[in-house]
Structure formats: C-alpha cells, structure tokens
Amino acid sequence: MSHWRRLAGALALLLAVLVIGTVGYVVLGFGFLDALYQTVTTVATVGYREVQPLTTAGKIFTMVLILLGVGAALYAFSVLIETLVEGRLQDVLGRRRMERTIDEMHDHVIICGWGRVGRAIAAEVTAAGRDLVVIDQDEARLGDCPHPTIRGDATDDEILAHAGLDRASAVVAAVDQDAENSFITLSARASRPDVFIVSRVRNIESEAKLRRAGADRVVNPQHIGGARMAAFVLRPHVAEFLDVVMRERNLEFRLEEIEVVPGSPVEDSTLRDAHLRDRSGALVLALRAPDGQFVTNPSPDARIEPRHVLIAIGTEHELAELARLVTP
C-alpha cells in the first residue's frame, strides 16, 4: 500500500470514529452540536467536562470511544510523521511536478520499458533534443531514470493516457516479452490511430503479429546486432561511416529525413526543376513514396509528390535550408 493511501486510510478511520461518536451521543439524547462537541473533546482527551450528565450506557460508550478515538488519532499522527520524516511528502510533491511536466509535453516519445534497450533508445532520443516519458512497472529500476517516469503497466490504457499519448509523436514498446509489446501496441493503436509505433521483438515468429497489432516498425535487437557485426566484418569502413553520420553530433555532415507535406512549393515538380541541390546544398539520396517504396539515387526527372519523404545528406545548415524549401 502506498504512503498516500495509508495516510488517506488513517484520516478516513479518524473521521469514521468521529461520525460514530457523534451518532452515538445523538442516540443517547444529545443535540447534534453537543454530540459533535462531546465526541471531539473525548477523542482529543482534552479533559473538559461532559456537556450533560452521562448515564451508565453513556459512560460505557464514552470509554469505548476514548479507546477507539485515541488509537485512530495516534495512528493518523504516526502515518503523517512517517510521511514527513521519510521524505515521502517530498516524493508526492515531486510526482505532482513531474505530472505537470508530462501534461505540458507535446510531440514527445513514450518509451515502455526501462531496460537496456529502453535506456539506449532514451539516450538517442535525448541526444536528438526530443522530450520523452518512460513507463515501467519496476519502481527500483526507475530510481536512476533521469527522465519523467510513470510507474505502471504500459498495457493499461490509463497509464498510456497519463504519459500523454494523445499528444505524443511516437510510442516505443521495448519490454522483454513479445506478448506485452503486442498488448502495448494494440492499446496505443486503439487510442491513437495516427501515432507512430515502434515495437521490439525477440522471436521472429512474433514479428507478423506485432505488425497486425498496429506496429509501424518492428525491430529485433539480436538480428540487427548480428547484421551490424557482419557489416563491420564485410564492409568496416562503410559501416563505421554510417554509424558516425547517424550518431555523431559533432560531425559536419548528417543524414536527415524531410517529409513533403501537401501544399509544399516543390510538390508535383521534378528534382531537376526544384533545384534542391543548387538552392540548399543538401544531396537527396533517396525518395520514399507513401506506400513505403524507396527510390534510391533518384534521377533528376523523379517527380516529388505529396507525402514523399526525402532522405538527404548535408550539413546542419544545408538540411535546415532544404526543410525550409519544401515547407509550405
């Protein structure tokens, strides 16, 4: 039971004793105000005289009320002191501040699972300057998380809602079990049909199920790790160059993706007519159509259509200029 529930339970017990005492004295013939006054002074053990003489039944009731009331008051006081001494009140206030921070987030990333994979994802997302929220059931594991966190089951729609699913740009299902990732994907897709979902998978057989559940991308860390190791064996310089371009923030050249939204000044024009290389300096390496098909090393006559994604390489300034040119 959480400290907040314990404190609420203790206060509820004390209130129940006061209600029972008031009702008891009313039954014994006291007026309501007199009954409430008699109950409070009895529970508080302040030693004032009785409002009116007590019968034998009244004396027995008062003795029982003293025992129950003092016990309830001491328990509530001890829980309150425990909350203050152990810093739990500070934890509660910190949680409130964190909830307000999450409520103010927009276009953030929700990472479900704070294991090795989740930590690696968070490092990359943070390095890219994006906000994120972490969900995990293990409170101890979340203890060293430097990001806003929510302790709970990510398959629960309410937990995803608390993480700001309605305002998030992406959800990453990165827990250990494929079944849980499937449920997270189903819950997120049902609540936000347009959110981008990336799911981790351990077994190849589960990949198709996760895609049917609504995942936009399914990633097998073991498979990708093996492929990268093979790439370092077969083409070490190419593999290392791609790693540096994708991950090194201080490198002059970077890879970037830029979507051509409807209304873009370059839509329905060819790469030759748009003069993107001449005007921005960035080189378009590939086009991705809305159906997911890639056109690598596109010819100058390749036509740019709405919802095309440009895969380009260039300096930060050149890529920013390219984004400006295709933005309505």
pLDDT of amino acid 1 = 47
What percentage of the chain carries pLDDT values higher than 70? 92
CA atoms within 13 A on the CB side of 40: 6
Residue 214 DSSP code: T
Residue 237 placed within a domain: no
CA distance 180 to 50: 63
CA 147 – CA 143 distance, rounded (Å): 10
Same-domain check for residues 113 and 205: yes
Predicted pLDDT at 46 = 75
Q: Looking at the chain, how many residues does it have?
A: 328
Q: What is the pLDDT of residue 250?
A: 61
Mean pLDDT check: name the lowest of 76-90, 165-179, 209-223, 253-267.
Answer: 76-90
Q: Could you tell me if residue 316 is inside a domain?
A: yes
| Residues contacting residue 215 through CB under 8 Å, at least 6 positions apart | 173, 185, 197, 198, 199
pLDDT at 80: 77
pLDDT band at 190 (very low <50, low <70, confident <90, very high): very high
Give start and end residues of each alpha helix (H) in 167-315.
178-191, 207-213, 221-234, 236-247, 271-274, 276-280
* Category of 129 on φ-ψ map: left (φ > 0), alpha (ψ -120 to 50) or beta: left
225 found inside a domain = no
CA separation for the pair 214, 184 (Å, rounded): 10
- What is the rounded average pLDDT of the residues 114-138? 91
Is 38 contained in some domain?
yes
Query: Which H helix or E strand runs over 111?
Result: strand 109-112
Helix H, strand E, coil C: the string for 115-132 is CHHHHHHHHHHHHCCCCE
Whether residue 120 is found in the same domain as residue 212: yes
Domain extent for 208: 106-219
pTM: 0.63
Mean pLDDT across 143-154: 89
Query: Considering the domain boundaries, does residue 236 fall inside one?
Result: no
Q: How confident is the model at residue 140 (pLDDT cuts 50, 70, 90)?
A: confident
Q: How many other CB atoms are there within 10 angstroms of residue 247's CB atom?
A: 12
| Of the residues 86, 119, 149, the one at which a domain ends | 86
* Arithmetic mean of pLDDT over the chain: 86
The residue with greater pLDDT, 85 or 308, is: 308
Residue 256 lies in a domain: yes
Say which CATH number the domain at 312 has. 3.30.70.1450
Write out pLDDT tens, residues 207-260: 899 999 999 999 998 888 888 889 888 888 888 877 777 766 666 778 889 999
> Residue 178 domain-assigned?
yes
Highest-confidence range of 49-53, 110-114, 139-143, by mean pLDDT?
A: 110-114
User: Same domain for 181 and 272?
Assistant: no
**109 vs 222: which has the higher pLDDT:** 109
Question: Do the domain assignments include residue 101?
Answer: no
User: What are the backbone dihedrals phi and psi of residue 295, each rounded to the nearest 5 degrees, phi first?
Assistant: -115, 100
Residue 182 belongs to domain with CATH number: 3.40.50.720
Compute, in degrees rounded to 10, the torsion defined by CA atoms 136, 137, 138, 144.
Answer: 30
pLDDT band at 8 (very low <50, low <70, confident <90, very high): confident
pLDDT interval class at 110 (50, 70, 90): very high
* Residues 276 and 207 occupy one common structural domain: no
Q: Same structural domain for residues 268 and 321?
A: yes
pLDDT in tens, 16-69: 988 998 998 898 888 898 888 888 888 887 767 777 888 888 888 888 888 888
How many CB atoms within 10 Å of residue 309? 16
Same domain, 116 and 76: no
pLDDT at 221: 87
The fraction of the chain above a pLDDT of 90, given in percent, is 33
Asked if pLDDT for residue 265 goes beyond 80, the answer is: yes
Q: How many domains does the chain have?
A: 3
The predicted structure's pLDDT at residue 94:
65
